[in-house]
Structure 1
Amino acid sequence: MRGLLAMLSGGALACALLIYLAVDHVALAAGFAATLVAIATLGYWFVQLAPRQAIDIDAVPDWTVARAAADASSMAIAVTDRSGRLVCASDLYGEWFPGFPTPPGLPLDSSDADRLTAAGRAAWSDGEGRAGGIGRGALRLDADVKRTGRSEDYLLWRFTPVKQVSVLDDFNRMLSGEAGRQLTEAGIMAVIIGGEGRIRVANGAFLLRAAGRIDANITGRDFASYLRIDDKGRVFFAREERSALPVRLLQVPLRRNDAEGPMLILMLDEQGGSMDGTSALSYIETLLSLLPFGLAMADRDGRVLFLNNAFSRAVGLKPGEKPSYPGDLVIREDQAAVADSVRRFAVGPQMSGDIAVRMRVQPDEPVALSLAGVRGLGEAAVLLSLKDNSEESKLKRQVAQATKMQAIGQLAGGVAHDFNNILTAIIGHCDLMLMRHTPGDSDYDDIQQIKSNSNRAAGLTRQLLAFSRQQTLRPQVLQLPDIVADVSNLLNRLLGEKVKLVVSHGRNLGAVRADPGQLEQVIVNLAVNARDAMPQGGTVNIQTYAVPAARVREMRHEILPVSDYTALRVSDTGLGIAPDLLSKIFEPFFTTKDVGKGTGLGLSTVYGIVKQSGGFIFAESEPGQGASFVIYLPVYAAIGKAPEPEKPRLPDRRSEVWGTGTILLVEDEDMVRTVAERALVRQGYSVITAADGEQGLEMLAKAAAQAQTIDLLISDVVMPNMDGPTMVAQARRTHPDLPVLFMSGYAEEQLRKSIAIANVNFLPKPFSVSQLAEAARDTLIAYAPARSGHSAAEPEAAVGLASD
């Protein structure tokens, strides 16, 4: 800096000399030089006194520091940037997810992968997201995602293991807590050892006798090293003298069917003081009453001496109730086996084992009853254990029921699809015959009756498709109270004079997205069932109310995910539903009504409509106190979705079903293909037929070779060899503007998800001749712009179905 000042000073003197030579004025030249020197000096001091700011233009995060911090934590951590690259991950992340995959693309179960992806999207939009209980196989993790970084352009993914309930942990906390101190005061020594024989935890009484100090640290030591056995087989503590008292050992396995796993060992003095057999038994009973799983004790004759509360709950006993023999708790066929096992374990050497029995409270579900012989506890000779698995059994039944319902739904959907083909042929031939007959002809009424019965059968197939969640829905955003209000007048007529209808609505109800017509059918079915359950009259209550996510979380329901719902409850004051029937009421063709008074498809249809709408339905009932059906529909959240503009409508041309042009008809069912061909020919079209997708492509190529124009392609969706969507995808390569009309017995929603083809129309089976003609006409009108150059607004309105 000093050199710079010297240069400026020299420059100032040179400028002053030039000015003096030019104007011959000494004062002016000296003033100019002084001014330059003063400005330079002020600039120097300003630079020295001004605060310096370090500007790091190319600052790059030091990910080595972040990785070291991540490895120091007990969770798996990963960091991704805006472009989706994995920029940092902990070693634990690599152990849980080998190969360091980039989240959310982790090897998880399908539903868990979707939830993790949704959590990442929520973090980018809201700042944080969460997906609990994700994983693959036995690995279960909670994932927390947070947007972070100086510019919030990174996502921090934190994975923590889900805490699993452990009986061993419960015992560890018990012995190291208040229960361990109570046992110490009672003179009972307790210790938990692992399968390898090493000590996990011990109470004060054992520490004092085994190590001489109550604060001794013997965790991980060999349990057998603290004991010795004399020539008579008696057990003593190794550190005590030969005159010490022997001790009795009672072994309690902590894992079912694992005699070599973790074990609770209780130790008592053989004699001396008040520790006789009777008092020791009372201490043991006090301990057993504290244990988290069911335990009972029986004498040599098989009489029950004691059972704790967990055992009573597991076998369905009332508070204070005590059976005389263990065999009284099981069904009659298993009583002899239980009695023989108790006698066998009560005598001879100490041993343990399990037998499968069926309890009186649950005769259809076998459970494992563990028996172990005990010695030195007075009258007690056998220890019986039974896990209180009521919640586990409930979950198993729910999973089995869901699996069964899914299998039945697939079967019902397949039957309905095949039956729809048959009904399509029957209804189509009836329509063709009615065209040749007029009212008053001898055959007219018979044909009309056949068609009427066929339409009734089509209604049954729609119910089957509703149960299997394969029917075509037209969902709308709506409010449940509006649907209830629309159907109230109909319900008053259906319920009759003996049944009173009471309707109440809650506040702040969220909108739901469902088919209003199907929701009306749900309400009507539930109300009619409630009426039939009250033959002497009663009250049907219909309620709507909001269920926020906080309340769902408090409910702790195993099936209902935590979210905001709008609930619909339909309850009655009738006879109720028997507990053994409650799990079967949603199955198709199951009914409690008399023969001829019900098809058994009402509640199964309700179940299918609710599930296909994304909701949940539960039945609640107490015999003699009525029944309630509660429907939870998720609140519709239209985040970031602009309202769809209203489409202009074309003039109604339903009466104009006649047409011209060539139609390629592809259908694998001969009877459907025949009736469809005849119907289209009668409407003025030229029809070319094919039995599958491969033949359809051959006919299309043949027509192109002959310069013949195909104006419309009508095809079934599911066909052998080559299905309809595959055929259309290949046909669009050579005929990009070819209008397509798909016909199928499956739901349009299911097909739209699997068919990524634009500009197609859909016709559900079964259909009549007029419906086929109208669908063909509407498809030709809808997709005429691509062929004739008209605007695209008109045809979309004529289709009635959104293009892909």
Structure 2
Amino acid sequence: MATLPATPQTDATRSAALIAIGCGLLAALIILALLHSIPIAGAFLAAALVIGGGLIAWRRLFPANAGTANEPDWSVARALAASSPDAIAVTDRAGRLVCANDRYEALFGGFPTPPGLPLDAGGVDRLGSTGRAAWRDGAATVERLVVKGATVSAEVTRVGEDDNLLVWRFFAPQGLDLAKTMENLIAGATGDRLGSAGIMAALINPDGRIRAANRVLRARAMGQEEGAILGRDFARFLITDAQGMARFEREGLTRNPLRVLQIPFLDGEDAPMLVALIDEEEGHAAIGESASAHIRSLVSLMPFGVALIGADGRFLQMNDAFARAAAVDPASPPIYPGDLLVREDKGVVADAIRRFAGGATHSTDLAVRLKDHPDEPVALSIAGARGLGDSAVLLSLKDNSEETRLKREVAQATKMQAVGQLAGGVAHDFNNILTAIIGHCDLMLMRHSPGDSDYDDIQQIRANSNRAASLTRQLLAFSRQQTLRPQVLQLPDVISEVSTLLKRLLGETVTLTVKHGRNLSPVRADPGQLEQVVVNLAVNARDAMIAKDSRGVGTLTIQTYAVTAAQVRKLGSDILPASDYVVLEVSDTGGGIPPEILPKIFEPFFTTKEVGKGTGLGLSTVYGIVKQSGGWIFADSVKTGPKGGAGAVFTIYLPVHTAGALVDAAPAKALPREKPADLWGTGTILLVEDEDMVRAVAERALTRQGYTVLTAEHGEAALELLESCDKPDLLISDVMMPLMDGPTMVRQVRTRYPDLPILFMSGYAEETLRKSIDLDNVAFLAKPFSVQQLAEATREALRAK
């Protein structure tokens, strides 16, 4: 995977400078020739040199990309491109390649920029026209591009917030893939199974030459199983008798005649044809019972979904692949194809079947919707079935359930990532507001005593603000931006610590069952956060059992067990990486989770509870804690109890902590430092904060503590202020600010004052920010904070000076 950054273009500026100098030189020569005045000619030449030098100096002082925005975060695009089997590249308006996946590199031998790719003659021009059409129309496609002898198609789409990007997707045509698959099947074990059923199969190119044949056909046509039959004319191996019956030429007219079945499994004039040969008993003009059995065997062995329809429009036969793709219930098989479809699509399919049963020779593809999955269209191919006994029409249905599932999972993962970023941003902005509210409450409390009539009201506002702050912490947990204190621990120990609390929360009507597996390996996580995960899941399970039964009778089961990497591979999950895990499973006997709600349960503020009975942040918090701990969580509904019934099951996979990994053993708890009784101080503090309300309350609080406070609304204003004042004793700055963020500003300040103490404050978590702040000797204060906490943090930062 490659992301190729754009570079500034200076050719235009350099050319303009050279033109200006050239024009000045020419003008000087003309003046010298006409007026014979060396001073005037020298003035023209000097002016040209000044203009050209000025252009070059301007470009160096103000490069073309100085004011451009930062490159976008391509991590999601790279992850999606890497998971695609197609070759994908992204270019910008300037025609620069900014992103490409590994498949693109393998296909084109590097990272050439579209449309300048190693294509056959004329391919580059056709691809360039397609790119221009995509810029104009939004999307365009081109087929039959030849790359290293292979044929590919290209799809170009205009994307981006400003429609400033092109996505180039190169893929093999579906027909070529299916034809290649059929070729391998016929020449391999599937062809041998067809031969054992009495079916000779061959794949014939449009020119009539053999592309693949199974061993039985090679033996009958050539006299030996390993005969060189590929590339030979198929018609040369057959002869016809007086009745028009086909036989192998080498066998003469003494052997049984052959029934030749042509199966057009692909549309198009240049598509290969699947041909099956079946021995027919002498004297039978139509297919007999034995040949019909061969046809049924042939259809059942097809690797793709195939069904045969009679002249009356009823199903005669469908293979297992067709039944899976159409979600057919074996207990009540359909009679007509329309029984599988939604009402709007039944008429179209019925008309097409009647047309092909009446003798139509070509095939067609229809996008239809199955009754069980009305929101997911599938491709249904319809063709006439000539020479297949009572069959009149052949249907082919592609089983795209796996592809649909993968698309749904990728879409869900992308959505959860976007929602997580949104939740983190909301929590950050909300923390700024809460900082101002709590700060002003503290300032007001300094002017009111406990007996004052307003004192209780101010305390109530402050208490509610602290409750709101706990909600922002839950949002940060979902967005994986909270501060964790990971330790190496055993899951059974965590469950044991929280079991007493769970029994009180669940009540007497709910039975708590705890089961632990043997030989569990340690995991690395925050024990307090894991306890919150278990408590949240247990409370949700209790509410679900109460919703099912007003008495709240039920069973909550918590069990832990080990899962090896080999067992993970057997699960066949495309999301869970193959590794060793310790599993925490929480199940209940409630009403379960409806399928339409299941994809949404981890989203913030989504709840099925009544208004006022839930914030919708419980499961989103669980999701964030598990993901930030490096684990995975899955939810499902299963049958429970001997009499059935659905219950919810949450399965959490936590990676095993290996001995060779970096060990963060449970650190010894430091003795709490005695808080200074006197928080008054002296000195000059530079306060940098873009939020006016936060800056105002912090300035007032620090001024009341005895400090001289200088304020700036962003990083650039702070640097300008430092140019005109003496060195401050402490710099307090927000981290995320417009124009110039806190860390960037501090790096420039440290070049002038290397020993200046720094106190960062932010609504994001300290752990997340420290990963991106490569500065030493900086303190951190999390928002929202009180006046007391701000004074304490300031005093500590100055004492550590």
- The reply to whether TM is greater than 0.5 is yes
Which residue of the other structure, out of 552, 560, 565, is the alignment partner of 2:568? 552
Q: Given residue 424 of structure 1, which amino acid in structure 2 is its aligned partner? A: T
| Contact kept in structure 2, 1:268 and 1:275, CA below 8 Å | no
Q: 2: distance between equivalents of 1:672 and 1:230? A: 98
Choose which of 762, 776, 791 in structure 2 pairs with 1:773.
791
- 1:231, distance to aligned residue in structure 2 (A): 14
Match 1:592 to one of 586, 591, 608:
608
Q: CA–CA distance in 2 between the matches of 1:647 and 1:456?
A: 27
The Cα offsets for residues 54-84 of structure 1, whole Å up to 9 and x where unpaired, read as xxxxxxxxxxxxxxxxxxxxxxxxxxxxxxx
Query: Corresponding residue for 2:420?
Result: 409
What are the Cα deviations for residues 149-207 of structure 1, in whole angstroms up to 9, with x where unaligned? Answer: xxxxxxxxxxxxxxxx9866765565456654564466533102467765332134533
Corresponding residue of 2:723: 701
- 1:605 and 2:621 matched: yes
Asked if structure 1 preserves the Cα contact closer than 8 Å seen for 2:239 and 2:248, the reply is yes
Structure-to-structure mapping, 1:18-29, within 5 angstroms: none
Counterpart residue type for residue 366 of structure 2: I
Deviating more after overlay: 649-658 vs 565-574 = 649-658
Partner of 1:664: 686
2:502 to 470, 480, 491: 491
Report Cα offsets for 1:325-359 as digits up to 9, x if no partner: 11101112221122122222222332112111111
Residue 633 of structure 1: aligned partner:
654
Equivalent in the alignment of 2:353: 342
Q: 1:660 to 1:264 in 2, by over 3 A?
A: farther
CA distance in 1, matches of 2:707, 2:242: 106
Conserved in 2, the CA contact under 8 Å of 1:248 and 1:269?
A: no
2:260 paired residue number: 248
CA gap 1:230/1:736 in 2 versus in 1, 3 angstroms: farther
Match of 1:524 in 2: 535
Answer yes or no: is the 8 Å Cα contact 2:260–2:275 preserved in 1.
no
SS of residue in 2 equivalent to 1:137: helix
Root-mean-square deviation (CA), in Å?
3.5
Q: 1:722 to 1:687 in 2, by over 3 A?
A: same
Aligned counterparts, 1:377-388, within 5 A: 377-388=388-399
Shift in Å, 1:461: 1.7
Give distance in 2, aligned partners of 1:259 and 1:612. Answer: 55
- How far the C-alpha of 1:629 sits from its partner, in A, is 0.8
State the distance in 2 between where 1:323 and 1:227 align: 40
Counterpart of 1:566 (choices 569, 582, 586) is 582
Match of 1:682 among 704, 712, 717: 704
Q: Is 1:715 aligned to 2:733, yes or no?
A: yes
Q: Cα 1:533–1:641, aligned 2, differ >3 Å: closer, same or farther?
A: closer
Number of the residue aligned with 1:300: 311
Deviations 1:412-452 (A, max 9, x none): 22222212211211121111111111223222222222222
Offset of residue 692 of structure 1: 0.7
Q: Which amino acid aligns with 1:779?
A: A
In 2, Cα distance between equivalents of 1:343 and 1:473: 66
Partner of 2:372: 361
Give the superposition deviation at 1:278: 5.2
For the pair shown, the structure with the greater C-alpha radius of gyration is 1
Superposition deviation, residue 732 in structure 1: 0.8
Give the deviation of 1:621 after TM superposition: 1.3
TM-score by length of 2: 0.72
Give the drift of 1:272. 4.2
The CA distance in 2 between the partners of 1:186 and 1:479, in whole Å, is 58
Q: Which residue of 1 aligns with 2:409?
A: 398
Summarize the alignment of residues 103-118 of structure 1 with structure 2, pairs less than 5 Å apart. none
Which residue of structure 1 lines up, in the alignment, with residue 484 of structure 2?
473
Q: Secondary structure at the match of 1:456?
A: helix
Map of 2:102 onto structure 1: 136
Q: Tell me how far apart the structure 1 counterparts of residues 662 and 418 of structure 2 sit (CA, whole Å).
A: 36
Question: For 1:650 and 1:774, how far apart are their aligned partners in 2?
Answer: 14
SS, match of residue 384 in structure 2: strand
Is contact 2:197-2:297 (8 Å) kept?
Answer: no
Equivalent-residue separation in structure 2 for 1:480 and 1:761 (angstroms): 33
Residues 222-246 of structure 1: per-residue CA shift (max 9 Å, x gap): 5466569999999887879899968
Q: Pick from 732, 747, 752 the counterpart of residue 750 of structure 2.
A: 732
Matches within 5 A, 1:263-342: 263-268=273-278, 272-274=282-284, 276-277=286-287, 279=289, 280-319=291-330, 321-342=332-353
CA spacing shift, 1:677–1:593, aligned 2, 3 Å: same
Question: In 2, distance between residues paired with 1:643 and 1:592?
Answer: 39
Percent of pairs with identical residues: 62
- Whether the aligned pair in 1 keeps the contact of 2:488 and 2:663 (CA below 8 Å) is no
Asked if structure 1 preserves the Cα contact closer than 8 Å seen for 2:484 and 2:767, the reply is yes
**What code does the residue aligned with 1:248 have?**
V
Query: Does structure 1 retain, via aligned residues, the 8 Å contact 2:245–2:257?
Result: no
> Number of matched residues?
628
Structure 2 Cα separation of the partners of residues 477 and 656 of structure 1 = 39
Counterparts of 2:724 and 2:476, CA distance in 1: 38
SS at match of 2:365: strand
Amino acid in the other structure paired with 1:631:
I
| Equivalent residues of 2:541, 2:556 under 8 A apart | yes
Distance 2:715 2:187 in 1: 73
Where 2:556 maps in the other structure, the secondary structure is strand
For structure 2, list consecutive stretches of 5 or more residues without a partner in the other structure.
1-75, 83-99, 108-175, 547-551, 640-644
Give the AA of the match of 1:546.
A
Corresponding residue SS for 1:575: coil
Partner of 1:419: 430
User: Shift of the alpha carbon at 1:409?
Assistant: 1.2
* Paired amino acid for 2:276: L
Looking at structure 1, the residues matched to 412 and 509 of structure 2 have their Cα atoms a distance apart, in angstroms, of: 36
| Cα distance between partner residues in 2 of 1:640 and 1:177 | 47
8 Å contact 1:357–1:366 — kept in the other structure? Answer: yes
Distance 1:460 1:242 in 2: 88
Rate the CA distance shift 1:359–1:685 in 2: closer, same or farther, 3 A. same
Where 2:630 maps in the other structure, the secondary structure is: coil
For residues 524 and 235 of structure 1, do their structure 2 counterparts lie closer, same or farther at Cα, with a shift above 3 Å needed? same
TM-score, structure 1 length as denominator? 0.72
Q: 1:135 to 1:272 in 2, by over 3 A?
A: farther
Q: Kindly tell me: are residues 474 and 260 of structure 1, through their superposed partners in 2, closer, same or farther at Cα, counting changes over 3 Å? A: farther
Spell out, residue by residue over 1:355-388, the C-alpha distance to the aligned partner (whole angstroms, 9 max, x if none): 1111122122111111121112222111111122
Q: Report if the CA contact (8 A) 2:258-2:277 is conserved.
A: no
Q: Quote the offset at 1:720 in angstroms.
A: 1.0
Contact kept? 1:234, 1:246, Cα under 8 Å: yes
SS in 1 for 2:584: strand
Which residue does the alignment assign to 1:757? Answer: 775
Residue type at the aligned position of 2:475: L
Deviations 1:658-706 (A, max 9, x none): 3222111111111111111111112222111001111111222322xxx
Structure 1 residue runs of 5 or longer lacking an equivalent are: 1-107, 115-133, 142-164, 785-804
1:580 aligns with 2:596: yes
Q: 1:202 aligns with which of 201, 210, 213?
A: 213
Q: Distance in 2 between matches of 1:655 and 1:195?
A: 94
Pick one of 440, 445, 470 that aligns with 1:434: 445
Equivalent residue for 1:120?
A: none
